[in-house]
Structures are given as C-alpha cells and as structure tokens.
Amino acid sequence: MRRKNKSDFSLNYFLKYPNVALVLGGILFLILIFNQYFDFSLKKKDVRQIQPSPITSCDEAQAIQKVKESVIKIKTEQGEGTGFIIRSDGYILTSFHLVETTNSPRIIFPDNTSLIGKVFNWDEQTDLAVIKVEKNDLKTLKFGDSDKLTAGQSVIAIGFPYLLPGEATVTKGSFSAKRASDFEGIEFIQIDAALNPGNSGGPTINSCGEVIGINTLSISEAEGLGFAISSKTANSMSDSLISTGPKQFKATQLAESANLNFQDVVSLYYSFISIRQLEAAYNLFSENFIEEIGSLQNFKNGFKTTLNVYLTNIEVKDIYPPLVYVELVSADLVGNQVVFRNYKGTWSLVQRNGEWKLDDANIVEINK
C-alpha cells in the first residue's frame, strides 16, 4: 500500500472540500494584502521617524558683519568697553562694571556718530546694565539659546579691546562648558575665545549671529580661559531691568527731600550734572543767575562733551550770605580722548519762596 505524503493529503483535501478551499484562499489573500499594506505603512512610518531634522546652514562671515552693525563702543572717564543694542528704540545691554562710576557714558555707533546715554537700570549681582539713548530705528541683536550649546561648538566674541580705533574686533573660539555661579539664577559659559580689556559687555555669538553670552572676563594666568554670562541669564535680566523702569539715583532721592539746606543744593546740582539731568540742574538757579547764563539750551550746550563730574570736596565757608566752597573733577571727551580737568571755587545762594537757589558761581580751573 502506497504511503500518502503531506502534499497528497493537502491536495486531496482541498479537492474534496472546494468550499473550504475557496474560503481559506480568500482569507489567505486578505492576509497577504493586509501584511503588505501594514508592512508598507510601518516602513513609511519608520522612514519618517528616523529622518533627521534639517540642519540650519548659516554663513558665519555674513552673520558676523550683520552683528557688528549692532555692537557699540562705550566711553567713560575710566576707559572704554563694549555693548550691543537689544531694542530698536534705544536700549543697550552692557556690563555694569563699565558704567558703575558714571551715569552718562558716551555711546559711539558703528557709523562713528555718538550720543550721551543714560544708565537706565542695572543689577550688580549679574554685572549687567541697560543704557538708554534717545534714538530710534536701531538695528538689534537676537538672543540665542545657551542651553543648546554643545562642547566644541564654534563661538565668536566681538568687542573693542585695548582702546583700538575703528571697527569692532572679532575673535573666534569654541564653547567649553557651562559654569554655575554662587548666586542662584546666574549662569556662565566658558569659552576659549580671547577676551581682552575692552571686550567686556560685548556679545558672544554663535555662527548664525545669535547672542549666546555677554563677554565678562578672562583669566590672564590661564590661556584660553574666558567667561561670558549666558544668554539665558542675560535675556531674562535685561527684560526685567527694562520692565522695572529707571532706577532711582541718589540725586533724585535727595531732590525729593524736604527742607534742603544750601550745601545740599550745591551737592544736588553736581549730582544732576553727573546723571545728565541738565534741566533739573538748571532749575536750581535763581532768576538773576538765569539772566546771566542764558537759556536752558545754552546751558545744555556747555555740557555736550562732558562725560561726568566728580564733586571731591564741599564745605560751607559762610552762612550770611551763604557761601559754599567746592572742588571737583570733570571728565570731558576731546576728540577721541578723555581729558580730566580740576576745578575749585565757591557758590553763592539766595532764598526764594522758602527754597535755596544758586545765585552766582566763582569756579576756576586749576592745575594739579
């Protein structure tokens, strides 16, 4: 008797039961179609999932040139530094230590025009300050995300080192690491781009021209070790400084005090000059003195090149009539140089409607 094999059995079975064969064939057809569709869908899905995100390609040289249009030079009686424009209506971000001794730095724009700015607000802890200039339609820089920096990523520091004339200097390096400070909420980025005196306050950018740090300091004993305040910290703090409004200076607080004596009035006058509140200083004059010096505009014209005024000594010399002796130093911009001048002399005061007014001045320049 011949032994049946599996193929014979299968063939005979389907010949014997054609309806079952038809049903199973239909099921098999559907399974094949489903598997092909399902497999195709998965393949499509897998391809879509593993497809890399498009990489943004930036022209680094072009980005640098564009950034330099928003980087400005800051001149004070202590020296020079760098800042950059963050709002088109005249707000500039820089390092606080550059402007802590003055409230009226001179701002020099890339086209070599200049204006006297006012220190609008500051935060000593983060070493950041905002300067306001009366100018609109300025070109601004955009903050990048310092959290997305990776070790070895290219970075560029821009600024005005060593009082060098001309356009801003560009130094290239790489991002090394993030460094937390002792103060909560303040983060630094470590870079190996050269940071020299004068670079402080300038931007550290990525290859697309986005600000990812504010140049702060370098360790002179260690080559290639520089630090910048991260854009994460700087962006948040600059928004806070602007939204908070101008910080109350000591001179303004004194002006709001009642019953100022005549020495206070003289001190207040020089404080107003220092923070560029020239109209407030002018309003301290008596009518007789205003007739002598002329209009407010004439008075302002006399301070066009003055960066700051330091009152170094003040004392009462006489009470009837009031006579106040002063010694002071002015810092003036002459060409591209800051020139210091020393003065001494006296102020006479009169009382009008219960307030002391500056009535006459005998101030002369001296050589030291």
Of 244, 273, 300, which one is at a domain's C-terminal end?
Answer: 244
198 and 85: one domain? yes
Of 183, 216, 244, which one is at a domain's C-terminal end?
Answer: 244
Residue 337 burial (CB < 10 Å; 0-12/13-18/19+)? exposed
256 and 236: one domain? no
193 and 162: one domain? yes
Q: In terms of pLDDT, which residue wins out, 253 or 82?
A: 82
Beta bridge partners of 349: 358
What's the whole-number average pLDDT of the chain? 80
Residue type, position 67, single letter = V
264 and 177: one domain? no
287 and 240: one domain? no
Q: Which domain holds residue 232?
A: 60-244
What's the mean pLDDT in 287-292? 95
Three-state DSSP class for residue 293: helix
- Is residue 1 in some structural domain? no
84 and 194: one domain? yes
DSSP symbol at 20: H
Could you tell me the pLDDT band of residue 259, with boundaries at 50, 70 and 90? Answer: low
Q: How far apart are CA 115 and CA 135, in angstroms?
A: 9
**Who contacts 157 (Cβ-Cβ below 8 Å, separation ≥6)?**
170, 171, 172, 173, 191, 193, 194, 195, 199, 202, 203, 204, 215, 226, 228
99 and 229: one domain? yes
- Say if residue 89's pLDDT is above 70: yes
Residue 303 burial (CB < 10 Å; 0-12/13-18/19+)? middle
Domain with residue 288: its CATH number is: 3.10.450.50
- Is residue 114 in some structural domain? yes
Count up the domains in the chain and report the number.
Answer: 3
- 70: closest CA among 201, 180, 188? 201
228 and 259: one domain? no
Domain with residue 85: its CATH number is: 2.40.10.120
- Is residue 55 in some structural domain? no
Q: What pLDDT digit, counting tens, does each position of 137-169 carry?
A: 999 999 999 999 999 999 999 999 876 777 899
Of 244, 263, 279, which one is at a domain's C-terminal end?
Answer: 244
